[in-house]
Each structure stands twice: as C-alpha cells, then as structure tokens.
C-alpha cells in the first residue's frame, strides 16, 4: 500500500507509469487484433474439423476479451487529444467484444444471450468488427511508415504491390473459390481489383464464393481510394494525433499543401465516398427487382457491390455477363445511377473539395448577409485552373463519346432498343470507357468506329486524384493547349487568364510519352505470347489494362501465363502512374548550378 502511495504521489512517476500502461495496452490490442483476424481468416478460408474449431474458437474468444479490455482501459486513460466520438466508439467496441466472447462461452444465460443476439443481429457482426479492428490497428501501425525513410512515390508503389500479394493470398484460400484457383489467376484477379481495372480471367459470379466476392470488393474499395488514404484516416482517428513527419509524408497522396488540413481533407474524402456509395447502393436497390435474387440479403449485397465498384471505377460485377445479364440489361434507371457514380468517382477528389469549399463559402456568406453579420460579400474564384480543365475536358469527352456512340451504334447495339433504352445506353456507352469497365451491351457486337473512339477515351481515362486511371484529363488538356500555343506562335501557355508553369508542361508530355511506350511494349509482348489473337483485340486489351478500364473484347480468359503477367504489370503501371514509377526508381538530381549553350533540334 505504501509502495502504491509512493508511486502516485510523484507526478513524474505518474506520467511515466501512465505512458508505459498505454504502450502495453496498445501492444496487447494490436497483437490480439492481428491474431483474432488470423483465426477468422482460418475459419473463413478453410474447412475445419470440429475438434480444431473448438480450440480456435477458444483462442478467438480470449483475443476478443483482451481487445475489449484494452479499449476499455484506453478510455479510462484518456489522452490529451480527446475526441468524444472516438471515446464513445471505443466504449461500444469494448462492450460488444466482451459480450460476444461471453455469448460464445454461453455464460450469460439463454435469455440474455437471445436479447443480445437480437440487438447485434448475428454472429457475422462480430466477424465484421474483427476485420474492422484489424484495419484500425494496421492503420495505426502504418503511421510509422515514414521511419523507413523511403520516398513517398516508392511507398505508394509498394503499398499497391503489398495489397495485391495479400489479396492474391486471400483469394487462394480454398473457401474463396468454388472449384479452386491457380495462384496466377488469384494474382491476376487481385491485381485487377486493387488497380480497379475489372479485367477477369474467371467468372466473379460463379467461380468465387461469397467470401471471395467480399475480398474482391474490399480490394477494389481500398485500391480505388489508395491504401494510404484509408490507413492514414483511421490511424489518426483512433491514435488521436499526427506527427509533423506524418503530415508531410501524407500530404503528397491527397494533394493538400496545408499540413494542418490533412485530417480534414481525409475526412472529406472518406465522407464523400461513403455518401456517394451509400446513395448509389440505395438507388440500385430500388431500381432492381428483388425477385431476381435469392433473397433480400443477396439483393442488398448486389447493390453495395455494384455501388462500390462503380464509384471506384472498378468494373467488377457479380453477374456473369456483367450488366448485359438477362433481366438487368434493360434496367436503365440502374444504368444511369451507375453512370453518375462512375463520373463522381472519376472526376477527382481535388475537384470535389474545390466545389465543396466554394459552396460552403456561398452558403455561410448568404446566411451572414441575411442575419446582417456581413454587409459586404466577397466573391471568390469559383474554381482553380485544374478544376476548370478537368470539368471542361470531362464534359467534352463525354459529349464526343455520346455523339460517336449514337451514330456508329445506330444499326448495331442500339438497333432493337426503345427510345429511352437508346438514350440510357448511349450515355452509359460514353461513360464506361472512362476507366469504368461495365458493359450493358455485347462488346463483341460493337462497330469498328465505336471501338476506335473507345481506345481514345480509355487512353485519356479519368482525372487526377480520382479512383480511375489512364493518361488523365488534365494531362491531355495541357498537351492540347501547348500544341495550340506553339501553332499560334505564343511563347507561353495561357488558359483562364493564368499561365501554366513549365514544370506542368514537361510533366504532361513526359506522361504521354511514357504511356505510349508502355502501351506499345504491351501490345508487342502480347502478340509474342499469344500470336493467334487478333491485333485489334490485343490493342483493346492493353489500352483497357493501362487505363484500368476493364472492358474487353473477350480475350482475357484466353491469355497465356506470359500475357497475364504482362497485363498485370500494365495494370499496376497504369494505376500508380508511369511518372510515379520513374520518379521512384531514378536518382534525384540536385539543383543544377550551370547552364550549357542552347542549340536547336529540328522537330518538323
């Protein structure tokens, strides 16, 4: 007793004791979360005999109690960065996890157990919580990544490669597929999901179980936003703070120059994602008939899966023929909902945040003006040059796509459709090559002009900072503006009363050159590994892979192992960016303090 009094009577020792306790608590929760997640994967991925199931369930329950007690202890030892929402959530997690373990041991009695089960819904809720806890602890652990002293570009690339390998491992589990899967096919599917491409060598609907489909959905959700966005947001929320190094490291991923706004920007990105995917899932649920599914749960999963796939521009579907499946090909309202989700996902988070700031300024300014708080209202610039270029280029490309599709497909895929069907299919046909990858028509019936315009639209792709890939709309716009400036004899490139920097111009043409090089090498290698395939089909496949579109003329399943490896590499390069890879592997040269005499090289 005297010993305890002696410790707690000294403020310095109190702080040291508190810090050590919090560190131990964090380690216990982290290790227990990882082990519980491992056991859960073992249960979900393998068929387990009853004897082993009892032993693993015992360990699983122990880890649940340790995690629950750990979170409860953390609430008692509240840190300085007190966030009420986090404290309430941690208390709730603590209670649910401890109750879940006690239910599994059947020590609360039948009546209380039944009451808790009615409140929580099902044992699957606990499995979901364990997965969420694993991501939370992994996110907190990821905040230490800056200690490796690697460049942000290299970390960005390695995060995708690591996620692909983890995904391939999960999809290789026996219970993830219906009839087994080779590792190369699991790796291809994982790469396609993480790089939000949608090219498939197996039927997602028939060859993967519900567990496998959930894994695929998680992979393209994380891959769409970027694993660093996910881990940074949840890591900060549950850890409660960022170091300056963390802020400087993360800002490059989200295009946020103000390091003090890192968490706010991450919160807006996650919130916008949840909002769009939630509304899209609700609309898809309303526009599809429950009779097409085995039950409401299956109907709900279909809606969520396609909403996430659309926003992330992934193109994966739980239908064997995609949205061209019988019973879904004429669900035009659903097609238009998916089109809107694709556009919002591909427009880019910088554009969304730009307009959010403008609308917030307008609404707050109007309220202050009405209340008499602010007599003179400031009118800010509606959008930055980047936002305007993205919006205008996206609009122009969509219009071009719709016009060409409507004209060239009049006697092909649009021939037998109703007027509203032609309208919806034309819009969808212009939107889907913008890195989305869904199809509402038979791709093999497309006219040649449509295929050619698809190659062009796929090459350009989505916008910077979006869930899509490709050359990017702003890159193409800058290249066109530069071309017109040179043709008109201007010494600089100007747009919207602003001058574009030389660095921007150099990056645009570097990205274009690298994209052409990668696509050219990809077509060349595929023709070597699969010489029996038609050149048009191969070119379409490579363009689709590079721009992470996922549309195919039906040759993906025919690719040899060598071709699959090439397409995987192209999908990864297209998702992370050619220039990002080059920056990561080329040694950075310092400031050049010399200048050679200028010479002219003949270009034309």
**Mean of pLDDT values over 11-25:** 66
Q: Is residue 19 part of a domain?
A: yes
Q: Is residue 124 part of a domain?
A: yes
How confident is the model at residue 376, as a pLDDT? 59
Q: How many domains are there within the chain?
A: 1
Residue 74 to residue 205: CA distance in whole angstroms: 43
Q: Is residue 340 part of a domain?
A: no
Give the gyration radius of the chain's Cα atoms. 27
Q: Is residue 247 part of a domain?
A: no
pLDDT greater than 70 at residue 238: no
pLDDT greater than 50 at residue 421: yes
DSSP string, 285-298: HHHS-GGGSSSHHH
Beta bridge partners of 208: 177
Nearest to 230, CA basis, from 131, 326, 148, 335 = 131
**Mean of pLDDT values over 25-31:** 77
- Which percentage of the chain shows pLDDT scores above 90? 29
Residue 174 is classified by DSSP as: G
How confident is the model at residue 557, as a pLDDT? 87
Give the position of tokens 């792709």. Answer: 461
Backbone angles phi, psi at 495, to 5 degrees: -155, 135
What token pair was written down for 126? 């606990």
Q: How many residues does the chain have?
A: 604
- 3-state SS class at 439: coil
What residues make up the domain containing 55? 1-142
Residue 206 to residue 189: CA distance in whole angstroms: 14
Q: Is residue 136 part of a domain?
A: yes
Listed ranges 59-63, 130-134, 275-279; the one with the highest mean pLDDT: 275-279
Q: Is residue 11 part of a domain?
A: yes
pLDDT greater than 90 at residue 257: no
How confident is the model at residue 580, as a pLDDT? 80
**Mean of pLDDT values over 406-431:** 91
For 76, half-sphere exposure in the C-beta direction (CA atoms, 13 angstrom radius) is 11
Ranges of H-type helices in 494-577: 502-529, 535-546, 561-576
How confident is the model at residue 404, as a pLDDT? 93
What is the average pLDDT value for the chain, to the nearest integer?
Answer: 80
Segment 429-453, tens digit of pLDDT = 999 988 888 888 888 889 999 999 9
Pairing of strands 494-495, 498-499: antiparallel
**Mean of pLDDT values over 101-125:** 54
Q: Is residue 507 part of a domain?
A: no
Segment 267-325, tens digit of pLDDT = 888 889 999 999 999 999 999 988 888 888 899 999 999 999 999 988 899 998 889 88
CB atoms within 10 A of CB 249: 21
Backbone angles phi, psi at 173, to 5 degrees: -65, 145
What token pair was written down for 545? 């892979």
Question: How far is C-alpha 585 from the chain's CA centre?
Answer: 24
Q: Is residue 342 part of a domain?
A: no
């Amino acid at each position: 007793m005297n010993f305890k009094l002696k410790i707690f009577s000294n403020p310095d020792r109190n702080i040291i004791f508190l810090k050590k306790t919090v560190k131990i608590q964090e380690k216990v929760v982290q290790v227990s979360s990882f082990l519980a997640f491992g056991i859960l994967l073992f249960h979900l991925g393998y068929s387990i005999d009853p004897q082993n199931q009892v032993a693993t369930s015992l360990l699983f329950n122990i880890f649940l109690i340790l995690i629950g007690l750990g979170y409860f202890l953390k609430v008692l030892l509240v840190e300085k960065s007190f966030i009420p929402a986090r404290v309430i959530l941690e208390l709730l997690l603590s209670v649910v996890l401890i109750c879940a373990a006690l239910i599994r041991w059947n020590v609360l009695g039948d009546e209380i157990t039944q009451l808790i089960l009615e409140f929580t819904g099902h044992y699957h809720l606990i499995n979901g919580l364990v997965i969420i806890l694993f991501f939370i602890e992994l996110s907190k652990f990821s905040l230490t990544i800056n200690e490796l002293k690697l460049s942000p570009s290299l970390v960005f690339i390695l995060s995708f490669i690591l996620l692909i390998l983890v995904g391939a491992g999960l999809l290789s589990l026996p219970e993830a597929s219906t009839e087994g899967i080779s590792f190369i096919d699991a790796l291809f599917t994982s790469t396609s999901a993480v790089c939000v491409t949608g090219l498939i060598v197996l039927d997602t609907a028939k060859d993967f179980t519900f567990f496998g489909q959930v894994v695929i959905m998680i992979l393209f959700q994380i891959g769409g936003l970027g694993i660093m966005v996910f881990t940074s947001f949840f890591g900060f929320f549950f850890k409660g703070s960022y170091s300056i190094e963390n802020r400087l490291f993360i800002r490059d991923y989200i295009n946020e120059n103000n390091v003090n706004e890192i968490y706010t920007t991450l919160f807006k990105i996650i919130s916008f994602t949840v909002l769009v995917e939630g509304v899209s899932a609700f609309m898809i649920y309303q526009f599809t008939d429950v009779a097409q599914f085995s039950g409401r749960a299956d109907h709900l999963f279909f809606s969520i899966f396609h909403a996430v796939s659309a926003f992330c521009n992934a193109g994966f579907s739980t239908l064997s023929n995609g949205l061209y499946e019988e019973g879904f090909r004429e669900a035009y309202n659903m097609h238009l909902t998916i089109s809107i989700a694709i556009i919002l996902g591909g427009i880019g988070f910088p554009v969304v945040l730009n307009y959010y700031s403008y609308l917030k300024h307008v609404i707050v300014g109007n309220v202050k003006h009405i209340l008499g708080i602010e007599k003179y209202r400031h009118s800010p610039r509606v959008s930055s040059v980047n936002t305007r270029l993205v919006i205008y280029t996206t609009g122009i490309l969509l219009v071009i796509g719709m016009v060409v599709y409507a004209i060239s497909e009049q006697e092909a895929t649009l021939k037998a459709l109703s007027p509203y069907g032609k309208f919806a299919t034309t819009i969808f046909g212009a939107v889907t090559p913008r890195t989305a990858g869904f199809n509402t028509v038979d791709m093999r019936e497309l006219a040649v002009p449509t295929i050619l315009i698809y190659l062009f639209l796929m090459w350009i792709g989505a916008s910077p900072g979006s869930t899509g890939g490709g050359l990017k709309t702003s890159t193409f716009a800058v290249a066109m503006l530069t071309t017109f400036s040179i043709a008109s004899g201007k010494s600089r490139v100007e747009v919207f009363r602003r001058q574009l920097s030389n660095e921007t111009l150099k990056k645009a043409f570097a990205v274009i050159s690298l994209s052409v090089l990668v696509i050219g090498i990809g077509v060349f290698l595929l023709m070597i590994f699969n010489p029996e395939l038609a050149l048009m089909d191969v070119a379409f496949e490579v363009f689709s892979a590079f721009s992470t579109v996922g549309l195919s003329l039906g040759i993906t399943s025919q690719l040899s192992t060598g071709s699959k490896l090439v397409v995987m590499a192209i999908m990864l390069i297209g998702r992370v960016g050619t220039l990002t890879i080059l920056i990561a592997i080329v040694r950075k040269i310092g400031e050049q303090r010399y200048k050679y005499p200028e010479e002219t090289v003949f270009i034309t």
